Amino acid sequence: MLKAGVVALLCVSGAALGAQDVASFEKQELPGLVTMYKGLHAHPELSHYEANTSALVAAELKKVGYTVTERVGVYPDGSKAYGVVGILKNGAGPTVLVRGDMDALPVTEETGVPYASHVVSKNKAGQEVGVMHACGHDVHTTVLSGTARALAASKASWHGTAMIVGQPSEETIDGAKAMVADHLYERFGRPDMVIGLHDSAEHAAGTVALKSGPAMASSTSIDVLIKGIGGHGARPNMGRDPIVLAALFITQLQTIVSREEDPQDPSVVTVGDIHGGTKRNIIPNEVKLELTTRAFSDKSRQVVIDGIRQMAAGIAVSAGLPKGMEPVVTVLEDESAPLQYNDPALMVKARAALVKALGAANVEDEGAAMGSEDVGVFGLDGKIPVMYYRLGSANAEKLRAAKAAGKELPGWHTSRFEPDPEPTLETGVKSLTAVAISLLQ
């Protein structure tokens, strides 16, 4: 647990830390945070299965006086999510929701670190997959816990209500929706602001990066089922090969971005999963594709969706498939995320707090990213201001060497994504606590 005296040094009025204060923090508190992080990293859990991670978050919040509720969230199929909500009331004032996500990815780790994950699990399709925190949600969970402790120990520095949210299933983009659908705000109160962070291998540990306004693209998940007429591989003329049709479809998809979209309004179409066939000499009856699209405007998003539908229909016509065998295009609204918009006024306040806490040289600007997040769901379509920033997680020396060589370090969703634990966690807790306290006044 964070010592009250140490937290006071960290947090009072968002004051910048002196070297002696930082050293005190590292000596007394950082080892415990690093131990928690490494434990989470070695024992990751896939989306919808965050039982142990959520229990750990709940236990940490209870230790420092939060009123905690577990299993907050309900998915469209009626199953309960592993969301955690901790409430700490500290007199009159605003309510700030501090959010951290907890789930891992179906990636087999190849970092070689001593605390690497060796977990193997089954995904929703029943396939055995390696599991890894390849997006840094173990960092987020640890920082969330450290920030919650800091807020509990420094109540003399702020007033209002801290709402700590451990969110499940960010990687499937349905965890925030599940918590809102489970009457999150009706049960625990509606926050005045939402804040959070995401680690990044593009920035050195010890720094943070900010983008006001449109910061991250919307994401739309789409399934496409391409039908065909199966047969023997030696007699392709007797059928209609859906694998060939899928290949043509995938190639043509890219012309939506290059020829249908406004070049000033960027978008991305990605086919991330394709399944078809059972044996090399059998032409199957169908091929299934899983797509994601990214866009910064509703217009751009709709152009992509319309283009996918039109191209799918055209593939059927060009193949001479009979009526009723057109591809089936399904937009999965439950697995889609809105544009991440950082409220400009809130960003001004947060930037001031971050500069005081970290120093101006460690607060950077960055451009908008095509990556997507569901933290914006907590903002209820702009009704509640949201502030979300990047937390540098790259080893500073490795990052400098990579840039000098014209390369990038392994990033999110790769098997070699490797945050630098100590400076990342220290800066994460320090920065998120500073922002929270600057708003809880």
The 10s digit of each residue's pLDDT in 154-209 is 999 999 999 999 999 999 999 999 999 999 999 999 999 999 999 999 999 999 99
Burial of residue 46 (number of CB atoms within 10 Å: 0-12, 13-18, 19+): buried
* Pair 147, 429: CB distance under 8 Å: yes
Listed residue (393, 403, 375, 399) closest to 431, CA to CA: 393
pLDDT exceeds 50 at position 61? yes
**In this structure, what token pair is assigned to residue 433?**
């606590």
Could you tell me the residue ranges of all domains in the chain?
4-217+339-439, 218-336
pLDDT band at 416 (very low <50, low <70, confident <90, very high): very high
For residue 91, the model assigns a pLDDT of 97
pLDDT exceeds 70 at position 6? no
pLDDT band at 24 (very low <50, low <70, confident <90, very high): low
* Pair 143, 430: CB distance under 8 Å: no
Provide mean pLDDT across the span 391-407: 97
For residue 144, the model assigns a pLDDT of 97
Residue at token pair 């969301």: 83
By percentage, how much of the chain surpasses pLDDT 70?
94
Provide mean pLDDT across the span 62-74: 97
Least confident of 22-26, 89-93, 248-252: 22-26
For residue 399, which phi and psi values (nearest 5 degrees)?
-65, -45
For residue 301, the model assigns a pLDDT of 95
Listed residue (67, 129, 143, 61) closest to 101, CA to CA: 143
pLDDT exceeds 90 at position 124? no
**In this structure, what token pair is assigned to residue 229?**
């007429």
pLDDT band at 36 (very low <50, low <70, confident <90, very high): very high
Listed residue (253, 327, 342, 246) closest to 293, CA to CA: 253
For residue 22, the model assigns a pLDDT of 37
pLDDT digits (tens, 9 = 90+) for 370-398: 999 999 999 999 999 999 999 999 999 99
Provide mean pLDDT across the span 355-366: 96
Q: Round the average pLDDT of the chain to a whole number and report it.
A: 92
SS3 sequence of the chain: CCCHHHHHHHHHHHCCCCHHHHHHHHHHCHHHHHHHHHHHHHCCCECCCCHHHHHHHHHHHHHCCCEEEEEEEECCCCCEEEEEEEEEEECCCCEEEEEEECCEECCCCCCCCCCCCCCEEECCCCCEEECECCCCHHHHHHHHHHHHHHHHHCHHHCCEEEEEEEECCCCCCCHHHHHHHCCHHHHHCCCCEEEEEEEEEEEECCCEEECCEEEECEEEEEEEEEECECEECCCHHHCECHHHHHHHHHHHHHHHHHHHCCCCCCEEEEEEEEEECCCCCEECCEEEEEEEEEECCHHHHHHHHHHHHHHHHHHHHHCCCCCCCCCEEEEEEEEEECCEEECHHHHHHHHHHHHHHHCHHHEEECCCECCCCCHHHHHCCCCCCEEEEEEEEECHHHHHHHHHCCCCCCCCCCCCCCCCHHHHHHHHHHHHHHHHHHHCC
Residue at token pair 């807790």: 429
pLDDT exceeds 50 at position 8? no
pLDDT exceeds 50 at position 19? no
270 vs 160, 170, 287, CA distance in Å?
43, 19, 16
Q: How far is Cα 287 from Cα 226, in angstroms, rounded to an integer?
A: 5
* Pair 24, 168: CB distance under 8 Å: no
pLDDT band at 132 (very low <50, low <70, confident <90, very high): very high
For residue 423, the model assigns a pLDDT of 96
pLDDT exceeds 50 at position 433? yes
pLDDT exceeds 80 at position 16? no
* Pair 186, 232: CB distance under 8 Å: no
pLDDT digits (tens, 9 = 90+) for 232-250: 999 999 999 999 999 999 9
pLDDT exceeds 80 at position 28? no
Q: How far is Cα 128 from Cα 106, in angstroms, rounded to an integer?
A: 9
Q: Which residues, 6 or more positions from 330, have their beta carbon under 8 angstroms from its beta carbon?
A: 222, 223, 224, 225
* Pair 232, 296: CB distance under 8 Å: no
For residue 219, the model assigns a pLDDT of 94
For residue 197, the model assigns a pLDDT of 98
* Pair 166, 176: CB distance under 8 Å: no
The structure's pTM equals 0.87
Provide mean pLDDT across the span 347-353: 97
Give the number of other Cβ atoms within 10 Å of residue 312's Cβ: 22
Provide mean pLDDT across the span 401-420: 97
pLDDT digits (tens, 9 = 90+) for 215-232: 999 999 999 999 999 999
pLDDT band at 4 (very low <50, low <70, confident <90, very high): very low
pLDDT digits (tens, 9 = 90+) for 247-276: 999 999 999 999 999 999 999 999 999 999
Listed residue (53, 33, 55, 34) closest to 45, CA to CA: 53
429 vs 148, 151, 191, 412, CA distance in Å?
9, 10, 21, 21
* Pair 139, 392: CB distance under 8 Å: no
Q: How far is Cα 182 from Cα 186, in angstroms, rounded to an integer?
A: 9
CATH code assigned to 218-336: 3.30.70.360
Q: How far is Cα 82 from Cα 87, in angstroms, rounded to an integer?
A: 17
426 vs 134, 266, 323, 420, CA distance in Å?
20, 36, 61, 11
> Which homologous superfamily does the CATH classification assign to the domain defined by 4-217+339-439?
Zn peptidases (3.40.630.10)
pLDDT band at 23 (very low <50, low <70, confident <90, very high): very low
